[in-house]
Structure 1
């Protein structure tokens, strides 16, 4: 039985997540191949992150981004008293929540922008 996987790309915010499922082989060297459709959809490069969540393996593309907020997250967690394994788990949880939060913010901005006819409307003073 194939496990369901959620596949989302930042350009598809309005449509929401697509669910896709595919059964794949595991080689005798424990290697897998990401289906081309998934690879292309997620705009994967040459590296991916792999996480064990309960009885699931989650693979996500590595995105080189200097705006990942890691230092801010770590500082907050240390200030809140986290340490050891608990620090790592909470760091990963918060870091993984950044992208969905930004996507929701962008979606909201696009929806609110429909009421604006031009950029100058944003800066005009009420008369």
Structure 2
């Protein structure tokens, strides 16, 4: 049986975790599952979810996009670089919009490199 467990942030506050709920769901021949509407709505899910393997459980959690840390660093860099006024706003939006593609490219590269690793010790070998 799979368990769905989540702690949800709503408006910056930690939501009370609901009493444990369990429901049997089917898995398609393409290994797809459907999140029950009640769970989907309660967790305020959107178009993506994170999935983790925890022992013998699969844990699915909603993706919460938060670029606040990145945005603060971007703004500080722009101010340090002398941007101001309308130029600051335009450059901030340009850099902000590049965060997701940059992270996706980094993740793709990491996955491709991981495919070439045969063992964990390979990760720590010195380059010759």
Query: Taking structure 2 as the reference length, what is the TM-score of the superposition?
Result: 0.45
- Which of these two proteins has the greater Rg computed from alpha carbons? 2
Query: Taking structure 1 as the reference length, what is the TM-score of the superposition?
Result: 0.46
Larger RCO: 1 or 2 (CA < 8 Å, sep 6+): 2
